Amino acid sequence: MATFTGVGSHSSLLPVSAKPSRTRSGHRRASVLVRNAISVEKKSLKLDKSEEIFTAAKELLPGGVNSPVRAFRSVGGQPIVFDSVKGSRMWDVDGNEYIDYVGSWGPAIIGHADDKVNAALIETLKKGTSFGAPCLLENTLAEAVIAAVPSVEMVRFVNSGTEACMGALRLARAFTSREKIIKFEGCYHGHADPFLVKAGSGVATLGLPDSPGVPKAATSETLTAPYNDIDAVKLLFKSNKGEIAAVILEPVVGNAGFITPKPDFLNALREITKENGTLLIFDEVMTGFRLAYGGAQEYFNITPDLTTMGKVIGGGLPVGAYGGRREIMEMVAPAGPMYQAGTLSGNPLAMTAGIHTLKRLTEPGCYEYLDNITGQLVNGILDAGKRTGHEMCGGHIRGMFGFFFTSGPVYNFEDAKKSDTGKFARFHRGMLEEGVYFAPSQFEAGFTSLAHTSKDIELTVEAAEKVLKRI
Amino acid sequence: MATFTGVGSHSSLLPVSAKPSRTRSGHRRASVLVRNAISVEKKSLKLDKSEEIFTAAKELLPGGVNSPVRAFRSVGGQPIVFDSVKGSRMWDVDGNEYIDYVGSWGPAIIGHADDKVNAALIETLKKGTSFGAPCLLENTLAEAVIAAVPSVEMVRFVNSGTEACMGALRLARAFTSREKIIKFEGCYHGHADPFLVKAGSGVATLGLPDSPGVPKAATSETLTAPYNDIDAVKLLFESNKGEIAAVILEPVVGNAGFITPKPDFLNALREITKENGTLLIFDEVMTGFRLAYGGAQEYFNITPDLTTMGKVIGGGLPVGAYGGRREIMEMVAPAGPMYQAGTLSGNPLAMTAGIHTLKRLTEPGCYEYLDNITGQLVNGILDAGKRTGHEMCGGHIRGMFGFFFTSGPVYNFEDAKKSDTGKFARFHRGMLEEGVYFAPSQFEAGFTSLAHTSKDIEFTVEAAEKVLKRI
C-alpha cells in the first residue's frame, strides 16, 4: 500500500525496507481520516529512493531503462524502481507495497516468486544454469508445450518473444518461398525490422510512427490491415495473390490495450490463409497458457500453422518458443536449411522455470479461477466508472484484461486511440498512490495471477472508485 | 572421464550417476592396459542414455536441438546429452565425465556453477526473478560494464547476443541515416536477417550458403569482405561512398574457428571508419571480458563506437548488451526514437549472475592465469600434432583459443576452410572418448576458465597426443 507519510507532501527519507510496517487496515483508517480532512486531496506517494536510483539510471541506460515502456513517459510521474515481488504483490525501493496487475508483462501467471518454482530453480542451478548442449529438461518442456498447444507438433526454444517471432517469420518465408506478410495495426511481435510497422506496445505508447534505423526494404514486404477487418485482409490477398507467406496476429490483442477478435474474425483468417497457401501464425506470447492451457487457439478452437510463445513459458526467466506442424518445423536447422541459433536457448534453468510453471497450470480450476477474479476486477472497475461518470469500456478473457477511457466499443487500434490517455495517466497515478500497479500505458493489457485473491480484487475496485471520483 | 566398460563395445546400461566412481588414475591405468592389449583400438564411449534422450528429442525439437551446432552434424557420432556441470567439468547422462573446453560457448569463464554466483542467485530469486520494471541491479551491472569497457558510456541490456547485434545495427543505421553495413566472411553476429550473409558459427558448420526465408532485400545492404583484408574494405568504401552506416566485426574471430586480427587491421578499420563517418562496431559477444576485463578493445587498445556483448556478461543466464558513446546511445527509445524493447531485459536474476561473474573477474591475476593455462593447452596440442605428423596451426589470447588441421597460417575464413574437417571430426570423437569435450565443430573457438587447472591441461595434452597418434 502507499506509505502514508502525513498530510500534504511532507517527505522524509524513510529507511528502505522490503515490506512496510503499516497494516492494510491501519492504512485504510488513516486514509479515510485524510480524505475526510482534505476531501479529494490525493495521498502523497513517497518515491525518493526510486527517484534517486532512476536519476542515476538515466546516466547509465538510455532513458534510464532496459525497455521503453518502463520509463512511464506516457503516464508521467516518477517511474518506480522495485525491490522485490511475491505472489500478487510488489514492493518498491521506498518500501511501498502494490497489488500488481502487470505480472512482469505476463510471466507471473502463477504468482511472483512461487515457492515450488524457486525450489526447483535452486536444485537446478547447483547442476549448472547453462550447458550449451542438449539436456533432458529441454525434452520435458517441449513435451509439455506440444501436449498443450493444439498447433504445435514440434517446437524450438529461444530466449525471447522477439526471437520467437523472428524465427517464425523466417520459417514461414522459407516454407512458402514467399516474402510478404500481413500484420495488424497495433499488434506487436517483437522488434525485428519487418515487424516495426504500425506496431503496438512501446511503439504505440511513445507515439512513434516507425523506428529510424529500419530500412524501407525491411518493411516493404509487411502489409498491414486494421484488426478485426476481414475485408481489408481479403483486399490484400487479392492485390498480392500468391505472394503472402504468412498472416501474423495476436489472437487477442494485448499490445494495443486489450482487444478481442470479433466472432468470425479468426475463423475467416484461417479460411483465407488456407485457400491461399499462406501460413497463419498466432503470436501467443501474451495469450499462451493464459487464455487457456492451450492458449487462444484452444479457447477459440482455431488451429494456426505456427505459434509463437514467450512470457509464461519461461516462468520468469527469458524463454521464447515457436512451434507448429512437423513438416514446417523440420525446415529449421539443423533438421533443415533455415538458420536460427542461440547460445542460451533451452538452458536447464529456464527450462526448469517453464516446466514447473506449466505444471502448476495443469492443476484443475486454474482458468476458472482466473476468469472469476479477473471478471470481478474488470466489471468492478467499469461499474465504478459508470457510477463516477466516466466513459469507459473493457473486458477480460480468463487472466488477461483491459479497459479504455472511451465509450467504445474498441475493435481495433484506431478505436483504442480514442481513449483519453490524459485521464488514463491520472488514473494510473491515482491507483499507484492507492497501492495498485497497472501497466504505465493505455496500450498494454493487464494480467492477473493465481496468487491474486478476492480481497486483492475488492481493494483494487474500491481504490478505483476513489480515484475515479477525483480525476 | 569416459566410462570404461570393458574391452570392445560391450554396452550395459550403467545407472546414471552425476559423477563416475572411477578415479582418474585408475582410468588411466586401465586405458594403458587396453592400449597395450589392442594397440590403437579406441575405447568405447557408452552413450546409451544420450542416444535414448536425443532420439526422443528429434521428435520434439528440429534436429533434436535448440541450436544447430549441438547436433554434432559436422563431427558425426552420437550427440551428448548433459546432466550437470561444475568448474571445468561436465557429466553426461551416462555418467561420463569430461573436461570442458566449450564453457557453454563462453559464459562459463569463472567455471561452471560457481558457488558465489549460485549463492547470489538463490538470494535474488527469492525476491523475484523478473519485475518488468526498473530494479537497482540493472544500474549495478551497467556501472560495472561502463567502467570496464572503454567504448561504453551508456549501455542497454537485452536477452541474447542476437538481440544485441540487432539493436546495435538498427542504432547505427538510425544514427548515421545510412543503411549499408560491412561484415566479414565467417563472422557471426546472431541470426537477424541482415547478418545471415557469409556467416560463421552454425551457418559455416552446416555449410549453408545463406538461409532460406531471408529476403534478398534484407541482405542487399550487407557488404562483405574477407577478414584481415583492409584493401577489400577500402574498395567497398570507395564504391559505396557516404552510404556505409557501420563496419561490424569480431575483433578476434571465434565463429570461424579462432582467427586473430593482423597487426594493423583493427587500427586501419578505426581510421577508415572515422574518415567516412561510419560507425565501428566491435562484436565482443565472445571476446568481451575474456581477452581482457575490457575486452578486445582494451587488449588491442582500439576504441570502437559501439560494442555488443553477451555470454560472460550473463554469467550463465541469457543476457546480451549493446553500448557505446552517449550521443549514439541516447537515440535509443525511450531517450530517442530508435525502437528496441524486451520483457525480460535487465531482469534481476540475470543481472545478479552478471554482476557476480564480473566481480570475480576483477580479482587480480585472472587474465594472466587464463593466458598461462590456455597457452600451455594450445602449445601442448600443437606440439603433439608436430610429433605425430599432423599439419596443424592455432593460437590463443588469454582465455580464448583454437586450432586448425591445416598448416596455416589462417588469416580468414577461406584459410580456415582448408582445415581437414574429417580429421577434426576424428580428433573430436577421440578426445570425447578420452574424456575431453571440445566444440563439435572446426569453426568454433575454444574457451578455458579460471576453474581449469594445470592438471586439466596436462591431462588434455596427453589425451591429445594419444588421439593424434591414431587418427
Each residue's pLDDT expressed in tens, for chain B with a length of 471 residues: 433 333 333 333 333 333 443 344 444 444 444 333 333 445 678 999 999 999 999 999 999 999 999 999 999 999 999 999 999 999 999 999 999 999 999 999 999 999 999 999 999 999 999 999 999 999 999 999 999 999 999 999 999 999 999 999 999 999 999 999 999 999 999 999 999 988 888 777 766 557 999 998 899 999 999 999 999 999 999 999 999 999 999 999 999 999 999 999 999 999 999 999 999 999 999 999 999 999 999 999 999 999 999 999 999 999 999 999 999 999 999 999 999 999 999 999 999 999 999 999 999 999 999 999 999 999 999 999 999 999 999 999 999 999 999 999 999 999 999 999 999 999 999 999 999 999 999 999 999 999 999 999 999 999 999 999 999
Q: A60 vs B316: CB contact, 8 Å cut-off?
A: no
State the pLDDT confidence band at A207, using cuts at 50, 70 and 90.
low
Name the closest residue on chain A to residue B152, using Cα atoms: A60
Q: Are A240 and A223 in contact (CB under 8 A)?
A: yes
Q: B134 vs A82: CB contact, 8 Å cut-off?
A: yes
Q: Residue B24's closest CA among B432, B455, B380? A: B455
- Give how far B152 is from chain A: nearest CA, Å: 10
Q: Give every CB contact of residue A113 below 8 A, 6+ residues apart in sequence.
A: A84, A85, A86, A87, A316, B125, B126, B127, B128, B129
State the pLDDT confidence band at A204, using cuts at 50, 70 and 90.
confident
Active site residue A58: no
Beta strand spans in A268-371 (E): 279-283, 306-309, 320-324
- Give how far A302 is from chain B: nearest CA, Å: 22
The CA distance from B98 to B17, in Å, is 14
pLDDT at A14: 35
Q: Are A111 and A451 in contact (CB under 8 A)?
A: yes
Q: Closest partner residue to B63 among A84, A193, A334, by Cβ?
A: A334
pLDDT at A208: 59
Q: A126 vs B113: CB contact, 8 Å cut-off?
A: yes
From the list A46, A311, A417, A466, the catalytic residue is A311
- DSSP for residue A363: S
Name the closest residue on chain A to residue B80, using Cα atoms: A134
Query: Look-up: residue for cell 486531496?
Result: A41
The CA distance from B408 to B13, in Å, is 44
Name the closest residue on chain A to residue B209, using Cα atoms: A337
For the segment A272-300, the average pLDDT, to the nearest whole number, is 98
Q: Which residues from chain A sit within 8 angstroms of residue B136, using beta carbons?
A: 53, 81, 83, 93
Query: For residue A160, with 0-12 CB atoms within 10 Å meaning exposed, 13-18 middle and 19 or more buried, which class applies?
Result: buried
The CA distance from A267 to A277, in Å, is 16
In the β-sheet with B82-86, what is the strand arrangement from edge to edge? B82-86, B89-92, B97-100, B436-437
Active site residue A98: no
- Which residues of B form the catalytic set? 188, 283, 311
Vertex A262: Cα angle to A261 and A266 (nearest 5): 60
- Give how far A224 is from chain B: nearest CA, Å: 18
Using DSSP, state whether B227 is helix, strand or coil.
Answer: coil
Active site residue A283: yes
**A399 is written with which cell numbers?**
487472466
**Whether residue A15 has a cis bond before it, omega within 30° of 0:** no
| Better-predicted residue by pLDDT, B210 or A251 | A251
Beta strand spans in B258-319 (E): 279-283, 306-309
